[in-house]
Structure 1
Amino acid sequence: MDSPDTKPGYAGKLLMLFTLVLFAALVKLGFWQLERAEEKRELLASLEEHHQASPLSMDSLLARQADDLEGYRLEVTGEFIPGITVLLDNQVLDGQVGYKAFRLLKVDGYQSLILVELGFVPARHDRATKPRIDDIDGHLTLKGRLYRQKLNPLSNTLAAEAGNPMRIQALNIPSLATQLQVDIVQLVLQPDSLPGTSLPRRWTPVNMPPEKHLGYAAQWFSLAAALALLVIFYVVKSRKKQSELRD
């Protein structure tokens, strides 16, 4: 029995167009993740190269402050400014929510201060009660890495709360300098060791390693391949059905 050729209607054409757009989007997302993985590899390689360089002095830090100095090591001697502790809110370490604590170091012979990361402090159940950080008195020599705290592009407002410690929502150093009316270097020092405190400090130069981007790329490409196989299966099945109707 003969049957007229069956052609896709308006709804069928829309479905085909949607499928093509979705397939292209999945492939594009996969390649984007591959690009992100390569960017992260290059960044980590650059940071490792910086880390292997000779430690900077305060002079070289101030002279090159506008350059990309993240990952370089710094060695300075000075003392912490008393009465000022900064708590960066909404930090997570090993699944625990808390703060990243900082103090300002007055380097011998310089007016500019530098933020020193003391480490992670767990949050208390009562947010009205801020954790207390023991003072670190006297002169000390610190060695460690320099980094820039990543800001949320959607919310980089300092939102400082009065009191000591000062709780903030974003480590916006220019805003913090204005709030405290001091000059602060636009980088943070994460010391290798810090006398007087055992707070954990973790070096996390990227929020997602290259391997994770590769994993996401594999997921997007797998979804695209699965969609392509479904379309092929549907086309083959439809043609087979049409062939049977013509017979």
Structure 2
Amino acid sequence: MSVVTTSPAPSWLAWLLLIAVASALLSLAYWQYQRADEKAAFMALQRERGQTAELSWLQAEQAPEVIANRPMGLRGRFLPEFTIALDNQIRAGRVGMELLVLFQPEGAANFVLVNLGWVVSDRNGGSALPTAVPSDGEITGVVHQPSRFITLGGPELHDGVWRVGRVETDYWAKAWQRPLVPWVLRLDATVPGGFARDWAPTQAQQIGPDRHRAYAFQWLALALAWCGCWFAFWRKGLVKQ
């Protein structure tokens, strides 16, 4: 004869665990869905901007919030005494750095950092830090918004050049006493001088909207699986033979 006994209801701690884990997984799913929408909008904007004409300095100053990834032409002069190296940049498995030099556009009050490209780090088997910069005059490039990821440590002076983990235009504007625009110009590969400038997209930028949606589905499936397992383990204790 079977004896049916009811186990006590789950404790508040068990309910808390269920809700906390499920909420975390659902939050990750929602975040990936948001990333998919953002990436789709970004790719559409990239296509639109790729068909637009080259920006002028005046246009960039008037609408700095909508110029990212737009082509731009400038005329002016480089100030190589103001150089920073964006350290620990990996290309084809090699550690290197991107060199950025201050540029003064002709007739402008503000300055801009120009990314001359990538070189093998002199601290990882590379040659001495290059000092040559392109000739003064006309340059072309693409506007780039520096990453805002938090990095450990601050600028480090090594062999006469400041090494940084990220480009902070506000910091260098104060350090150099020069007004800087809040973006960087990546020098076009057709401009003489400079270094490796293929400007390959980052791994995160290569992920399309569909991949983000797939990740969102995976997190959602994990949330449902977690809830199912939780209830299954609880119900297992409800009936005893």
TM class by smaller structure: 0.7 to 0.9
Q: Answer yes or no: is the 8 Å Cα contact 2:85–2:163 preserved in 1.
A: yes
Q: Is residue 159 of structure 1 aligned with residue 155 of structure 2?
A: yes
Q: Answer yes or no: is the 8 Å Cα contact 1:158–1:170 preserved in 2.
A: no
Cα offset, 1:4, TM superposition: 4.7
| Equivalence for 2:179 | 183
Q: How many residues align?
A: 238
Distance 2:147 2:99 in 1: 15
Describe the shift of the 1:200–1:137 C-alpha distance in structure 2 as closer, same or farther (beyond 3 A). closer
Residue type of the alignment partner of 2:215: Y
Distance 2:20 2:108 in 1: 59
Distance 1:82 1:26 in 2: 49
Residue type of the alignment partner of 1:189: L
Matches within 5 A, 1:1-247: 1=1, 3-8=3-8, 14-65=13-64, 67-125=65-123, 131-153=128-150, 159-161=155-157, 164-193=160-189, 194-204=191-201, 207-208=204-205, 209=207, 210-231=209-230, 233-234=232-233, 241-242=239-240, 245=241
Normalised TM-score (structure 2): 0.79
Describe the shift of the 1:185–1:21 C-alpha distance in structure 2 as closer, same or farther (beyond 3 A). closer
The Cα RMSD (Å) is 3.2
Q: Secondary structure at the match of 2:157?
A: coil
> What runs of 5+ residues in structure 1 fail to find an aligned partner?
none
> What runs of 5+ residues in structure 2 fail to find an aligned partner?
none
Distance 2:33 2:114 in 1: 35
Q: Answer yes or no: is the 8 Å Cα contact 1:74–1:145 preserved in 2.
A: yes
Distance 1:170 1:26 in 2: 31
Q: Answer yes or no: is the 8 Å Cα contact 1:84–1:164 preserved in 2.
A: no
Distance 1:151 1:131 in 2: 29
Q: Answer yes or no: is the 8 Å Cα contact 1:190–1:201 preserved in 2.
A: no
Percent identity between matched residues is 24
Distance 2:84 2:128 in 1: 11
Q: Answer yes or no: is the 8 Å Cα contact 2:151–2:166 preserved in 1.
A: no
Distance 1:4 1:121 in 2: 74
After superposing the two structures, state which structure 1 stretch, 29-38 or 132-141, moved more: 132-141
Normalised TM-score (structure 1): 0.78
Cα offset, 1:62, TM superposition: 2.5
- C-alpha distance after superposition, 1:123-143 (max 9, x if no partner): 24469x995124135334222
Distance 2:108 2:20 in 1: 59
Describe the shift of the 1:158–1:63 C-alpha distance in structure 2 as closer, same or farther (beyond 3 A). farther
Q: Secondary structure at the match of 2:66?
A: coil
After superposing the two structures, state which structure 1 stretch, 50-59 or 229-238, moved more: 229-238
Distance 1:200 1:124 in 2: 18
Q: Secondary structure at the match of 2:46?
A: helix
